[in-house]
Amino acid sequence: MVNENQFGNRDKKGHWRPFKRVDYGPLFRWPSEPMQLFKWLFRWDGYIFPWNFIYALVAVLVWTYFTPPMETMKSFSIDWIAYITIRNGVLMTLWYGVFHLWLYVRRNQGTTFKYNPKWPETDNSAFLFRNQTIDNLIWCFASGLPIWTVFEVITLWMMSNGYIPYLNLDTNPILFFAIFLFLPLFREVHFYCIHRLIHWPPLYRTVHKVHHANSNPGPWSGLSMHPVEHLFYFSGVIIHWIIPSHPVHALFHLVHLVMSPTPGHAGFDKVIIGDKKLLDTHCFAHYLHHKYFEVNYADGSIPLDKWFGTFHDGSEKGDQLVKARLKGLKEKST
Ligand SMILES: [Zn+2]
Ligand SMILES: [Zn+2]
Cβ atoms of residues 246 and 176 within 8 Å: yes
**Is residue 64 included in any domain, yes or no?**
yes
Q: What is the pLDDT of residue 328?
A: 81
Instruction: Give the range of the structural domain holding residue 245, as residue numbers without chain letter.
Output: 13-333
**Is residue 2 included in any domain, yes or no?**
no
Which numbered ligand comes closest to the C-alpha of 266? 1
Q: What angle do CA 113, 115, 119 make, to 5 degrees?
A: 100
pLDDT tens digits for 84-98? 999 999 999 999 999
Q: How many Cα atoms occupy the beta-carbon half-sphere of 31 within 13 Å?
A: 1
Mean pLDDT for 1-26 is: 96
**pTM of the predicted structure, to 2 decimals:** 0.97
Mean pLDDT for 21-43 is: 95
Sign of torsion, CA 235 258 217 326?
A: negative
Domains in the chain, number: 1
- Does residue 17 sit in helix, strand or coil? strand
| CA–centroid distance, residue 157 to ligand 2 (Å) | 32
Which numbered ligand comes closest to the C-alpha of 297? 2
Nearest CA among 103, 52, 89, 130 for reference residue 218: 103
**Is residue 160 included in any domain, yes or no?**
yes
| CA–centroid distance, residue 303 to ligand 1 (Å) | 18
**Is residue 1 included in any domain, yes or no?**
no
pLDDT tier at 275, thresholds 50, 70, 90: confident
**Is residue 6 included in any domain, yes or no?**
no
